[in-house]
Amino acid sequence: MKHRLAVLSVSLVIIVVIMSSFVSRSALGLVVSACEVNSTLTGSPYPCLKIVQAQDPLSSYVVLREPTDKERTILAPLADVPGIEDPRLLTAGAPNYFDEAWRELSSIDPRATKATRPNFALAINAASWRTQDRLHIHMGCETPRFHALLKTHATEIGNDRFTSLGTNVGWWATFHAADDLSDLNPLKLVADGVDGARSNMKNLVVGVFSATLPDGQHGFYILARIRGANKFHGSAEDMIDPKCRL
């Protein structure tokens, strides 16, 4: 027992150090590991909100608040997955982290439901825009800017196929009718549906937006852009409002 308490004390000290300085690009991975250690020793996922262990190690994940911004909620795999450019994520049977994040949206506000928050959204950054070398999905609601973007281009966005929106940023978009993401893997859809995406996954920004069309049909807009030389905004942080104020 004393040994376990000593290990726990050391792990918590490490956590405090990590959370006080989130400068290192490996810090998120260390926090995730600390959550796993604490869960094993005490049953608590702290400092994460939740930890889910799956039979397939690649499918295990945690949900946590960003150490530098307590308002931002993210999902990250337990496995060492640097980003959506990891080739394992496009193989048959690969985990669908967007589906897991969609199922965990109550972590943002336990009182909210998908009915009361119809504008739930998820997004992930390109490798060149990440602050951490660990895949993480931003969870929240669409920002006013992206609400306006989707509304403006709603009639252009094709069902089940990607359409270029003709924006300076270079957004591609599609709409899929569905109640959840269990049968929709946004990464695979983007890789197969956006020109040049599969060979350039490391430069992809991907957003998933819950939506109900005027005819009552529920589904998801999936937006993607390949980050090139332009400096236009379009990061996950631009897409997601962590406080769901809209």
Helix pair 27-42, 2-20: axis angle to 10 deg: 150
Assigned domain for 160 exists: yes
Q: What is the pLDDT of residues 139-163, one digit of tens each?
A: 999 999 999 999 999 999 989 899 9
> Which residue has better confidence, 70 or 103?
103
Cα dihedral sign, 33-34-38-44: negative
Asked, for residue 234, whether it belongs to a domain, the answer is yes
Identify the domain containing residue 104 by its residue range: 2-241
Residue whose C-alpha is closest to residue 172's, from 192, 202, 145:
192
The answer to whether position 219 is within a domain reads: yes
In a domain, 32, yes or no: yes
Q: Report which of residues 74 and 245 the model is more confident about.
A: 74
Enumerate long-range contacts of 39-43, CB under 8 Å, 24 or more apart: 41/4, 41/7, 41/8, 41/11, 42/8
How many domains is the chain built from?
Answer: 1
Beta bridge partners of 163: 173
Q: Is pTM, for the whole model, over 0.85?
A: yes
Query: What pLDDT score does 71 carry?
Result: 75
Burial of 67 (0-12, 13-18, 19+ CB in 10 A): middle
Cβ–Cβ < 8 Å for 205, 124: yes
pLDDT band at 192 (very low <50, low <70, confident <90, very high): very high
Residue 210 lies inside a defined structural domain of this protein: yes
| pLDDT score for 169 | 85
Residue 246 within any structural domain of the chain: no
The CATH number assigned to the domain holding 220 equals 3.30.428.30
